[in-house]
A = this chain, B = another copy of it.
């Protein structure tokens, strides 16, 4: 951030009064520009014993497999955001959304919130964002071609819980290895 989005003047990086960390502040109009992590919402859409996955048609990680997920927008609940992302990426309508897994990814300022969900019908199709959309059994999951660690983690939590039928809400995190920084 270089300029004030309010008045267009250059901002400075200072610790405001009664604060404890540097913020971008406009010396002209006084606005403090807070920057905060973003929430990514998504689904594990299930039909019978199979999980709906999509092969990404866009960067990053184009060609790799993922679960539908994306940034929560203003004006929607977290569940509505997860439903919207699923529809956009797979053409499928999901129901019975239950919060299931929250994953901190501190180094990129993202928190994933993944829901369990059921397909309303086995109807889905490729989309602008997904080159392929498929219902996969556990044996079919392409573990070597998963787009993001958080998606692999979500699938592993789910498949570990499934035999017991007990899906307790869980928190987890993805930490960057020093070499990845």
Identify the A interface with B (CB < 8 A): 1-11, 18, 21, 24, 33-39, 71-79, 99, 102, 104, 106, 109, 111, 113, 128, 168-169, 171, 173
On whether the beta carbons of A78 and B104 are closer than 8 Å, the reply is yes
Closest chain B residue, CB of each to CB of A35? B74
Of the candidates B3, B7, B74, B169, which one forms a contact with A7 in the assembled complex, judged by CB atoms under 8 Å apart? Answer: B3
- Report the separation of the CA atoms of residues A104 and B2 in the bound assembly, to the nearest whole angstrom: 32
* In the complex, chain B residues whose CB is within 8 Å of the CB of A18: 128
A106-B77, A171-B78 in contact; A37/B72 too (CB < 8 A)? yes
Shortest CB distance A35–B (Å): 6
Residue of B at shortest CB range from A84?
B20
**Residue among B36, B74, B77, B109 making CB contact with A173, cutoff 8 Å:** B77
CA distance in complex: A102, B114 (Å) = 13
Contacts of A74 in B (CB 8 A): 35-37, 109
From A73, A76, A79, name the one whose CB has the most chain B CB atoms within 10 angstroms. A73
| A8 and B6 within 8 A (CB) | no
Kindly state the separation between the CA atoms of A114 and B125 in the bound complex, as whole angstroms. 37
